[in-house]
Amino acid sequence: MKFFPLVWTSLWRKKARTIFTLLSIIVAFLLFGLLQGVNAWLSAFGADSHANRLYVVSRVSEISPLPGAYLKQIERVPGIRQVTYIGGIPGYYQEKSNNILAMASDVKTLFAIYPEWQVRPEQLEAISHTRDGAIVGVPLMRAFGWKVGDRIPLRTSVMKQNGSADWNFEIVGTYDIPGSPSLANRLIVNYTYFDEARRLERGTAWAFVVAVDDPSRSAQICAAVDALFVNSPSETTTQDEKAYFLGQLRQLGDVGLMTNAIVAAVLFTLLFLTGNTMMQSVRERTPELAILKTVGFSDRSVTVLVLIESLLLCGLAASAGLAGAAAVFPFAAALGVAGSALPLKVVVEGLTIAVVLAIASGLPPAWRAQRLVIVDALAGR
């Protein structure tokens, strides 16, 4: 601690330069925190998936609809407890940026298949009596200030029988997913109402979600379901929940590789920026470092002082950047693109990188300070 005033004042020798360098590092680590945080969240995607849930989609493409009549055939496969449709109305609320998906299903069955989705029983009962009712995720209710009883107009790309693509739903209840609140980002509406009201692709579903009795038999059940529709016009692919989610992620591309590449490029640039700042700072202080050596600081002490200065610069800025990312994370979570908190693993990784960056950028000026010859430095040579 006794060296702190010495290091601290050296750091602020040129205030503007230090502030700009700090800001650069803060922004870089903010970016690191957000990207790696989202990456970690995506990597953990499906980790808490339920092995007793299966998804039946078209073998050709996940966006190719399957005949709704498949539901009855799937139900008859031994080991399957419940099946329901998954359909949807992609649209937006008021502004195009407010993207919302209204997921159409047999609502009671859906909540039975997803027991971790919490809904009040009376609200579940209410939707079965309200054809155009909707049960809405709590984050959406908060984001738009909705309350039960409100009517929600959605502008969509799904045309109704009357030619309009505007759909109205009455909020009859809310649902929450305590472990993953950010996933409760949809409206859940009645499939029967949706299917009767739409003009195109009636009697079809995007997918079927299936609950099985014995997860250890999932592989056989998947094969049995797909076998039902072999050589039909709409062949299926059935997967357990984890495989299904990972397959969806792969459609985005290798997110991990992309985020790592961006972060690596940013940090590599930062290495030169910080190194340059430290080098300039040490060069300007050559006579002062010579005085330190004159009054008894050893070569090693001066080296350590420069490295501590570099660590302080990078550590402070990285902490601020990561704190910023942690503060932004809940908002990203509300949009459904991240978990509820910045993972601790990312914070530890970030701080470790900050230390490595500090040492790598501090070593050349520290080496210069160590090799400094007192009489030459004092003489301005």
Partner 1 sequence: MPSVVSLKGVVKRYTRGKQRVQVLHALDLEIQEGEFLALMGPSGSGKTTLLNLIGGIDRADDGDLVVAGERISALKSRELAHWRARHVGFVFQFYNLMPLLTAEQNVELPLLMTNLSRAQRNNNVQAALDLVGLADRASHKPAELSGGQQQRVAIARALVADPDLLVCDEPTGDLDREMAEQILDLLQMVNREQGKTIIMVTHDSKAAARATRQLHLDKGRLIDAETSVAA
> Contact 45/246 with Cβ under 8 angstroms?
yes
Nearer to partner 1, 69 or 379 (CB): 379
Report, in angstroms and rounded to the nearest whole number, the Rg of the chain calculated over CA atoms: 29
For the CB of residue 296, give the shortest distance to partner 1 in the complex, in Å.
2
For the CB of residue 354, give the shortest distance to partner 1 in the complex, in Å.
25
Strand, helix or coil for residue 232: coil
For the CB of residue 374, give the shortest distance to partner 1 in the complex, in Å.
4
Nearer to partner 1, 16 or 375 (CB): 375
For the CB of residue 309, give the shortest distance to partner 1 in the complex, in Å.
13
- CA dihedral (259, 264, 267, 271) in degrees, to 10, reads 180
> Contact 118/176 with Cβ under 8 angstroms?
yes
In terms of Cα–Cα distance, which of 354, 353, 328, 358 is closest to 342?
328
Strand, helix or coil for residue 239: strand
Measure Cα distances from 235 to 21, 76, 103, 245 in Å: 58, 17, 23, 20
The enclosing H or E element of 238 equals strand 236-240
For the CB of residue 363, give the shortest distance to partner 1 in the complex, in Å.
19
Nearer to partner 1, 12 or 20 (CB): 12
Nearer to partner 1, 9 or 162 (CB): 9
Nearer to partner 1, 135 or 372 (CB): 372
For the CB of residue 289, give the shortest distance to partner 1 in the complex, in Å.
10
In terms of Cα–Cα distance, which of 91, 99, 171 is closest to 137?
171
Phi-psi region of 252 (alpha: psi -120 to 50; beta: other; left: phi over 0): alpha
Nearer to partner 1, 109 or 301 (CB): 301
Residues that bind partner 1 (CB under 8 A): 2-3, 5-6, 9-10, 12-13, 287-288, 291-301, 374-375, 378
**Cross-strand partners of 167:** 154
